[in-house]
Chain A
């Protein structure tokens, strides 16, 4: 099929798929960020069970393949009488996994802080919450901008898992699979989706670079 035919027939669906991918990415990244913060808090806390729990979480969700996790959520959970919608399964898989990486990046951000600064803040008489708010969080976040930007792109790529379940509306990858199983979509069908993914990734990268340049800490 030529590009004009494709767009005529599937143009609207491509737009819908793009929005679906964006929506999934936004939801999953936000969830991953929040979970990542929580896991990081556990990791640095003086409470051992929480630290162990956090380390376990990271080892499991850093290393589990997305497909494996999705299959567990979609096909295995019903055996435990837990039925989740397809959308929810994809969202959970695409949130839990990036959350592990988010925590790793935040941890690296915290470790960019010269430890003496925390001592200096303490010596001034600042309390623990003041030190966290005034020294740790600003520096950790500002140092993690680039890795977190990459994580946003990676999350978007992970949402392609949605193509593995009969989720409606379809995402960009699921749409290509659909078009090509019902017609000869050819390279064009693939290229449209690929370009949309790619363009989004490039824009995310550019914005990330801009933000990083503004907030980067000179050391």
Chain B
């Protein structure tokens, strides 16, 4: 359903981080990060708190700036400001840990705001598509409610629909289920799994290991700002190569 480029000739990564460094004051939060994401891949980034995985995710659509290195989208460096940056962000969807739906608008308006304002889609078309997307993620019946009236799981699914309405080429997920009550995590992960099955390129920062095992094309393990391991999920979970990865996997067992 989504644009998957499987030809080996034009194997240009859709996103490419090259030797990216970032500092928060004295703190070196991203240390020489290099990562390529290809179309259709699901990259799951895991690691302990403070490892920089959220920051990594947010540098891709320049919600965080970088101090050195390059980030390329479809081969071109990220614009630094202005209309070009806004246009780039319209092609990259982002789902936040705290959903961040617009509190003053209905769910339907939340989903149509992006297309109407940014893509200049006419209202009728935007509304129809929005309803389709809301139904697809399972919150079609909530369309005329405001976010405060929805459960966390419903809000997050609506937030996913909001991003999908922009027809993004890539979707970024920054700990999408970390703020949810346990019984609602499943419904959001199901939506994400179905997106992946349809071929959406995804970068997911999460603690949900089962999801990573089932859905990831590649698992990226980060600790203290560096990428320590990068492997297929099977390889990574059964045979972690670094001490810290082993320690991390052991410590999250049995939760």
- Once bound together, how far apart are the Cα atoms of A130 and B90, in whole Å? 14
Q: Is A135 an interface residue (CB 8 A)?
A: yes
- Establish whether residues B117 and A134, one from each chain, have CB atoms under 8 Å apart when the complex forms: yes
- Once bound together, how far apart are the Cα atoms of A116 and B95, in whole Å? 11
- Once bound together, how far apart are the Cα atoms of A69 and B99, in whole Å? 48
Q: Is B148 an interface residue (CB 8 A)?
A: yes
Q: Is A127 an interface residue (CB 8 A)?
A: yes
Q: Is B211 an interface residue (CB 8 A)?
A: no
- Once bound together, how far apart are the Cα atoms of A120 and B159, in whole Å? 9
- Once bound together, how far apart are the Cα atoms of A116 and B163, in whole Å? 15
Against A, the Cβ 8 Å flags (1 = close, 0 = not) of B7-38 are 00000000000000000000000000000000
- For the complex formed, measure the closest distance between the CB of A215 and the CB atoms of chain B, giving whole angstroms: 9
- Establish whether residues A114 and B86, one from each chain, have CB atoms under 8 Å apart when the complex forms: no
- Once bound together, how far apart are the Cα atoms of A217 and B109, in whole Å? 15
CB within 8 Å for A124 and B90 given contacts A117-B103, A217-B103, A218-B148: yes
- Establish whether residues B90 and A125, one from each chain, have CB atoms under 8 Å apart when the complex forms: yes
* Chain A residues whose C-beta falls within 8 Å of the C-beta of B113 in the assembled complex: 121, 124, 126, 134
- Establish whether residues B100 and A124, one from each chain, have CB atoms under 8 Å apart when the complex forms: no
Q: Kindly count the residue-residue contacts between A and B in the assembled complex, taking CB atoms under 8 Å apart.
A: 79
- Once bound together, how far apart are the Cα atoms of A174 and B166, in whole Å? 62
Closest residue of chain A to B92 (Cβ to Cβ) is A123
Total number of B residues with any Cβ neighbor in A under 8 Å: 31
* Chain B residues whose C-beta falls within 8 Å of the C-beta of A123 in the assembled complex: 61, 63, 89, 92-94, 96, 163
- Establish whether residues A117 and B100, one from each chain, have CB atoms under 8 Å apart when the complex forms: yes
- For the complex formed, measure the closest distance between the CB of A140 and the CB atoms of chain B, giving whole angstroms: 10
Q: Is A139 an interface residue (CB 8 A)?
A: yes
- Establish whether residues B148 and A219, one from each chain, have CB atoms under 8 Å apart when the complex forms: yes
* Chain A residues whose C-beta falls within 8 Å of the C-beta of B93 in the assembled complex: 123
- For the complex formed, measure the closest distance between the CB of B200 and the CB atoms of chain A, giving whole angstroms: 16
- Which of the residues A116, A119, A125, A218 comes within 8 Å of B114, measured between beta carbons? A125
Against A, the Cβ 8 Å flags (1 = close, 0 = not) of B76-97 are 0000000100111111111010
Against B, the Cβ 8 Å flags (1 = close, 0 = not) of A103-137 are 00000000001101101111111110010001100
* Chain A residues whose C-beta falls within 8 Å of the C-beta of B197 in the assembled complex: none
* Chain B residues whose C-beta falls within 8 Å of the C-beta of A114 in the assembled complex: 98, 100, 103
Size range of the chain A interface in the assembly: 20 to 34
- Once bound together, how far apart are the Cα atoms of A139 and B91, in whole Å? 27
Against A, the Cβ 8 Å flags (1 = close, 0 = not) of B195-211 are 00000000000000000
* Chain B residues whose C-beta falls within 8 Å of the C-beta of A142 in the assembled complex: 104
- Which of the residues B86, B96, B146 comes within 8 Å of A116, measured between beta carbons? B96
CB within 8 Å for A124 and B148 given contacts A117-B100, A119-B100, A134-B117: no
- Establish whether residues B61 and A127, one from each chain, have CB atoms under 8 Å apart when the complex forms: no
Against A, the Cβ 8 Å flags (1 = close, 0 = not) of B25-65 are 00000000000000000000000000000000000010100
Q: Is A138 an interface residue (CB 8 A)?
A: yes
Q: Is B131 an interface residue (CB 8 A)?
A: no
- Which of the residues B89, B98, B104, B149 comes within 8 Å of A124, measured between beta carbons? B89
Residues of B near any A CB (own CB < 8 A): 61, 63, 83, 86-94, 96, 98-104, 113-114, 117-118, 146, 148-149, 159, 162-163, 166
Can you list 17 A-B pairs, Cβ within 8 angstroms, ordered by A? A116-B98, A116-B100, A120-B96, A120-B159, A120-B162, A121-B113, A123-B96, A124-B162, A124-B166, A125-B89, A125-B114, A130-B118, A134-B113, A135-B102, A138-B104, A217-B103, A218-B146
